[in-house]
Every structure is written in structure tokens, then in C-alpha cells.
Amino acid sequence: MDSQIAEPDAAARIASIPIEEIDVARPSLFQNDTIGLFFDRLRAEEPVHYCRESYVGPYWSITKFDDIMSVDTNHKVFSSEAKLGGIAIQDMHSVEGALELEMFIAMDPPKHDQQRKAVTPAVAPSNLQLLEPIIRKRAGEILDELPIGEDFDWVDKVAIELTTMTLATLFDFPWEERRKLTRWSDVATAAPETGIVESYEARREELIGCAMYFKTLWDERINEEPKNDLISMMAHSPATRDMPFLEFLGNLMLLIVGGNDTTRNSISGGVLALNQSPDEYAKLDADPSLISKMVPEIIRWQTPLTHMRRTALEDWEIGGKQIKKGDKVVMWYLSGNRDESAIERADQFIIDRKNPRHHLSFGYGIHRCMGNRLAELQLRIIWEEIHKRFSRVEVTGEPERLFSNLVRGITRLPVRLRAR
């Protein structure tokens, strides 16, 4: 099991909750990492589950791999449209004073298709290979600065640094100010109860500041020759260059959040997983060529985004349950990624699986993560560079997790390095 249960009788307590009272939307379940036990129950007893009452209102949970796949690939029935609530369990438009960002992840065809097509070439593998040497060099510099044989927080010193560095490289963002990207990513997904922002008003102001900053970069790039960075590509593409302000900001935030939280938490999640499975760490040590197979397994294991949400546009049956037009439907990727009927020994972290990319972390269908090969590239480079330098990244204390039902985040991970 990957859950470190703080409360010893949690398993017994969770097993005794009446099934209809289970509410997997509570962020505390993700923070204390008991969520896996809830999903185990839903998959076994009621894989398509209706929660009548929660802080986000009523919603359906889809917990099995194949059912999730069937919702994700049926975009004609299951809408991502922001105005219907969007793509997360918490409605995008429900909170007064929040800035409503327009981004193609929360649009249906045809507008989704036009905008996605405009941005996709920026993360095409052939394009990214041009960035590989610079990402590798910068990753090496960050790792070379780390203390050996001394406790430090892996999240702050490595996961955030490396991810911010790659993001800054992708945007060709002013290097000295790159931590702004981290801050904006945190703010974009933050609700006041997380402590990241004080209020939705404060969040709105920071995001406007972000937009102004990018507007300046945009104005520079649009007057230069087209380059390989994401801002230049958006500034020069006919599909994106005349975007309204909120759409421009929304799509930028999508690229920042998409490339930040997810990769950051996969970097930390991989360290934790290897420490929890010492045999796998030994395998990696003996054969670093396994890194390219280990990377998708880390992404499955961590499932950095726990879910995506859709809204039913018509009545539809899944797993014998009748979903009604207008219902909120949540595809729990974190649960589907532990589904034994689709993934062999799904509850184990195994770095040399036969089909390691057969997981749900990137979603499927037209909204499938467009940065999926970029994510893998980054993680592969990082693990290759870690392997060259350190024989062990040893976890020396309990991890701390994010209070969020969407981002499966590790906020602190004490480690100690052993030099190779």
C-alpha cells in the first residue's frame, strides 16, 4: 500500500462507513492519505457512486479504469465546458470574486480544437528535443549544489527548482525571476482555505499581475522573429494571437499549472515510491536503462491530478447507474490507476512493467494531456542526472501532503543524499 496511515484504526473506521455516506471530495482525505482506502471500497462495492451531499454539491464518482475511459472518450455526452462547471469537482464559476479564466481544457469542440491545435506544436516531441540539452545542463547545476549526508527538504530544494527551471526554459522566461512562475501556478489552483492566498480577491489581483507580466513578454515576442518558446508560438499563431484577455491568461495558466504542479509532485512522488519499495530502488541502481520505463510508472503511481470532472449533457448509463442530464461526473484517475481489473498488481510500484504507459494520469480522448511526452522527457532527464550523482536519495522523515482534492501534492519531503 502507498498510504501511510497516521491513525492506526483508520482502515476499520473507513470500512464501517455506510457506502451512501462516503464523500471522497473532502480534501483532508488526500492530505492524510487515507483516500486510497475509500477508493478501494468504492471500486469493490459501488464503482459508480453517487454522493448526495458534499461541500461541492452532489456528484458521481467513477472509480474503475474502463468506466473512466468510457467517460473520457465520450466528449459529446460529457462536457468540459467552463460555464457548466468546468473540469474540476469544484465548479469554476461558483465562487464570487474568483477570476474566471477561459482555457481550452475547459471548452468543448470546436473552440477547444482550434486553440489546442495552436498550442500543441510547442510541446511536440521533435520540438522538445531541441530543449533537452539546456534542461539537462540546468538540472545538473541544481543537483550539484545539493548537500551530501545532510537532511534537507527535497520539495523546496529540488522538485520546485527543477520544475520551475524547465518551465522558465519552455517560456524563455527571465531567468532571475523564475520563481514567479511557481507562485502563479500555486495561486492559480489555490482556494483561500489552502492558506496560499488570503481571499479570492487577493488571488484575482495576483493573477492580473501575472497577466500583465506575460503581456509584456508577449509584446516583445510578437515583434521578434518566431522562436521555439511557448509565448512566441502563441503570439505568432493565427489561432491564438488575437485572444481576448481572459482567454490569453487562461491558456497561459493552463500551460504553467499543467507543467508545474504535476511534474513537481511526480519528482517528489518518485523519490517516495522508490523508498517505499527498496527492491525497486535496487533494480534501478543495477540498471539505469530502466529509467524510461520507470518514468511512466512514477506518473501512474503519483497520479498528480487526482481527477477530472465532466457535466452530462444527456441522460447516460454507466455501470448500471442512471446518470441524468446536468449531473456532475468525476473521473477519479487516482482510483482507476489502482484498478486490478485493468492493471496487474496495481497496488505495487514496479519500475519495469510491460505496458507502463497504460495508465490514466494523462486522461484519454481529446483532452488527453498535451504535455505528456514533455513530462516524461523532463522526468527522464532528471532521473538520469540524479542517478549519475547519487547512489541514494533517502527519505528521512514523514512526507507532508497538500490539502487538495485535485492536485495530489507533496509539500515537504525530508531527505538525505548519498554520493555515488
Partner 1 sequence: MIKITFVASDGERREVEIEEGETAREAALYNDVPGIDGDCGGVCACATCHVHVDPEWIDKVGRLMHDGMEADLLQFAEGTTEYSRLACQIPMKPMLDGLVLHLPEQQY
Residues of the shown chain interacting with partner 1 in the complex, contacts defined by CB under 8 A: 69, 72-73, 75, 109, 113, 116-117, 120-121, 124-126, 355, 357-358, 362, 364-366, 368, 370, 372-373
Nearer Cβ to partner 1, position 263 or 372? Answer: 372
Nearer Cβ to partner 1, position 36 or 296? Answer: 296
CB of 63 vs partner 1, minimal distance in Å: 18
Q: What is the enclosing helix (H) or strand (E) of 261?
A: helix 245-276
Strand partners, 153: 414
Nearer Cβ to partner 1, position 215 or 373? Answer: 373
Give yes or no for a contact between 334 and 307, defined as CB atoms under 8 angstroms apart: yes
CB of 137 vs partner 1, minimal distance in Å: 23
User: How far apart (Å, rounded) are the C-alpha atoms in residues 90 and 95?
Assistant: 9
Nearer Cβ to partner 1, position 32 or 292? Answer: 292
User: How far apart (Å, rounded) are the C-alpha atoms in residues 146 and 164?
Assistant: 17
User: How far apart (Å, rounded) are the C-alpha atoms in residues 243 and 135?
Assistant: 30
Nearer Cβ to partner 1, position 93 or 358? Answer: 358
User: How far apart (Å, rounded) are the C-alpha atoms in residues 212 and 42?
Assistant: 45
Nearer Cβ to partner 1, position 44 or 124? Answer: 124
CB of 337 vs partner 1, minimal distance in Å: 13
**The cell 462507513 sits on which residue?**
17
Q: Tell me the CA distances in angstroms from 32 to 93, 334, 377, 418, one per residue in order.
A: 28, 15, 30, 29
Question: Which amino acid belongs to residue 282?
Answer: A
**The cell 492493471 sits on which residue?**
343
Strand partners, 6: none
User: How far apart (Å, rounded) are the C-alpha atoms in residues 336 and 47?
Assistant: 10
Which cell numbers in the block locate residue 70?
468510457
User: How far apart (Å, rounded) are the C-alpha atoms in residues 50 and 23?
Assistant: 9
Nearer Cβ to partner 1, position 188 or 375? Answer: 375
CB of 412 vs partner 1, minimal distance in Å: 32
Nearer Cβ to partner 1, position 157 or 357? Answer: 357
CB of 373 vs partner 1, minimal distance in Å: 4
Per-position DSSP letters for 222-235, written without gaps between them: HTSPP-SSHHHHHH
CB of 21 vs partner 1, minimal distance in Å: 33
Nearer Cβ to partner 1, position 209 or 365? Answer: 365
Check residue 155 and report its DSSP letter: I
CB of 248 vs partner 1, minimal distance in Å: 21
User: Dihedral (C-alpha) 313, 300, 356, 122: value to the nearest 10 degrees?
Assistant: 70
User: How far apart (Å, rounded) are the C-alpha atoms in residues 299 and 359?
Assistant: 8
Nearer Cβ to partner 1, position 255 or 417? Answer: 255
Which cell numbers in the block locate residue 169?
526554459
CB of 301 vs partner 1, minimal distance in Å: 16
CB of 109 vs partner 1, minimal distance in Å: 7
Q: What is the enclosing helix (H) or strand (E) of 412?
A: strand 410-412
Give yes or no for a contact between 203 and 99, defined as CB atoms under 8 angstroms apart: yes
CB of 108 vs partner 1, minimal distance in Å: 11
User: How far apart (Å, rounded) are the C-alpha atoms in residues 303 and 297?
Assistant: 10
**The cell 523546496 sits on which residue?**
156
CB of 308 vs partner 1, minimal distance in Å: 14
Residue 210: partners with Cβ closer than 8 Å, 6 or more residues away? 180, 184, 187, 249, 252, 253
Pairing of strands 414-419, 390-395: antiparallel
Nearer Cβ to partner 1, position 213 or 364? Answer: 364
